[in-house]
Amino acid sequence: MEFVFGHYNYWIVILLMMVGFYTVISRGNLIKKIAGLNMFQTSVFLLYISIGNVKEGTTPIIAEGFKVYSNPLPHVLILTAIVVGVATTALGLALVVRIKEAYGTIEEEEIHEQDKSL
């Protein structure tokens, strides 16, 4: 029981990761793929921040009266990762707009059909 309490956080985050992964590989609509990719990224961030959490700790801002702080290092890495994630999402969405203009559709099946019939 102790073990389940100590690890359920990770397991639910893995469930979120797998739902995002499944959205990316099984749905054909490009915008849904990008939403699934973002879900995957956000759940990975949750995993990292869970690893850095300390029991009875507080936010890593030095203040009077607090002795135990959470680990600031994962926070820094995830801050960078979030902003890089939005940069790649913006580029992906720009590509979706161009694909729509070139092929007339954003469904993966129809794009493959048009490519095969060239």
Partner 1 sequence: MIDYLINIILLAFLAITAIAILRIRSLLAVIMLFGIFSLLSAGLFVVLDAADVAFTEAAVGAGISTVLMLATLALTRDHEEKPPAHQPWLPLVVVVITGLALVYGTLDIPAFSDPDAPSQLHVAPRYIEHGLEETGVPNLVTAVLASYRGFDTLGEVTVIFTAGIGVLLLLGRTRRRKPKEDEQ
Partner 2 sequence: MKHNLILRVVAKLLIPIIVLFALYVQFHGDFGPGGGFQAGVIFSVAFILYALVYGYETAERVMPESVLRVLASLGVLIYAGTGIATLLLGGNFLDYNVLAGTPLAGQHVGILLVELGVGVTVSSVMLLIFFAFVARGNS
Residue ranges that bind partner 2, judged by CB under 8 A: 59, 61, 79, 83, 90, 93-94, 97
Closest CB 64 distance from partner 2, rounded Å: 13
Q: What is each CA distance from 18 to 37, 46, 51, in whole angstroms?
A: 11, 14, 19
Kindly write out the interface string for residues 59-98 of this chain, putting x where it contacts partner 1 by CB under 8 A and - elsewhere.
xxxxx----xxxxxxxxx-xxx-xxxxxxxxxx-xxxxxx
- Residue 55 as a binder of partner 1 (CB under 8 A): the answer is yes
Least distance from partner 2 to the Cβ atom of residue 3, Å = 33
Residue 42 within binding range of partner 1, rule CB under 8 A: yes
List Cβ<8 Å contacts ≥24 apart for 95-102.
96/30, 96/31, 96/34, 99/30
Paired strand residues for 29: 107
